Amino acid sequence: NAGVTQTPKFRVLKTGQSMTLLCAQDMNHEYMYWYRQDPGMGLRLIHYSVGEGTTAKGEVPDGYNVSRLKKQNFLLGLESAAPSQTSVYFCASSYPPGQVVANYGYTFGSGTRLTVV
Amino acid sequence: AQTVTQSQPEMSVQEAETVTLSCTYDTSESDYYLFWYKQPPSRQMILVIRQEAYKQQNATENRFSVNFQKAAKSFSLKISDSQLGDAAMYFCAYRGAWKQTSGSRLTFGEGTQLTVNP
């Protein structure tokens, strides 16, 4: 009954370092998403995927890359971290629209707090 | 593009009283879903209530209810008999109903921080 699992939960990076955030879901959801949460700005979509092997840009994609090699996993990469990427990152998954269960929205992970110094 | 606006960054309510959180949205789509999510200090995103745009009846979940005004593009959340555990950040969110539009993504408002006073 894990739902959506994000690792790590906390991380401190130095400017210029790289890292990968891992998201895993066990609900057989087609769609997966990465959001970042900043004070006063809500959650903003970074990248998303509508199926294995597909990715697309969201609202704030610059400085990030993603991969969806397996249906259950969605990776978010920071190639060269910058202080502006200090944020809380959320992964989420969902059924595609058009299915009755889709109106239950997303299932979210518990978030990753990333600090870039 | 769809936008969601929450004009109240902070709200407070006395325990056992009623509070209403406001949300407006902008869209050209005719079919969509609206949600309210709660985020307590634990950071977990918890679905509070949802509304399908094609339904005229306002959704209700126990002490939580919405006032959905489709023509005005307004979607407010009413919390009755407020409890200390209701203290959290609340996000209004919009999702298009079709794959071809908006990528089925959830668009969030800025959030409203709710404080419940004992």
| pLDDT single digits (tens) A31-50 | 999 999 998 889 999 999 98
Averaged over A45-69, what is the pLDDT? 94
Distance of CA A77 to the CA centre of its chain: 10
Residue B97 is encoded by which pair of tokens?
């109903």
Whether the ω angle into residue A8 lies within 30 degrees of 0, i.e. cis, is yes
Partner-chain residue, chosen from B35, B44, B96, that has the shortest CB–CB distance to A97:
B96
Residue pLDDT, tens place only, B100-109: 555 578 899 9
Residues of A in contact with B106 (CB under 8 A): 33, 43, 45, 92, 105-106
User: Residue A117: its pLDDT value, please?
Assistant: 97
User: Residue A44: its pLDDT value, please?
Assistant: 95
Question: How many interface pairs between A and B have CB atoms less than 8 angstroms apart?
Answer: 71
- Positions of chain B with pLDDT under 50: none
Q: Is residue A102's pLDDT more than 60? A: no
Euclidean distance between CA atoms A4 and B92, whole angstroms? 21
Euclidean distance between CA atoms A55 and A47, whole angstroms? 7
User: Residue B31: its pLDDT value, please?
Assistant: 84
Euclidean distance between CA atoms B10 and B51, whole angstroms? 23
Residue B93 contacts A, CB cutoff 8 Å? yes
Residue B11 contacts A, CB cutoff 8 Å? no
- Contact predicate B93/B112, CB 8 Å: no
Euclidean distance between CA atoms B43 and B11, whole angstroms? 19
Q: How confident is the model at residue A2 (pLDDT cuts 50, 70, 90)?
A: confident
User: Residue B104: its pLDDT value, please?
Assistant: 72
What are phi and psi for residue A78, nearest 5 degrees? -115, 115
State whether B33 and A105 contact (CB < 8 Å): yes
Residue B29 contacts A, CB cutoff 8 Å? no
Nearest-Cα distance to chain A for B60, in Å, is 14
Q: How confident is the model at residue A100 (pLDDT cuts 50, 70, 90)?
A: low
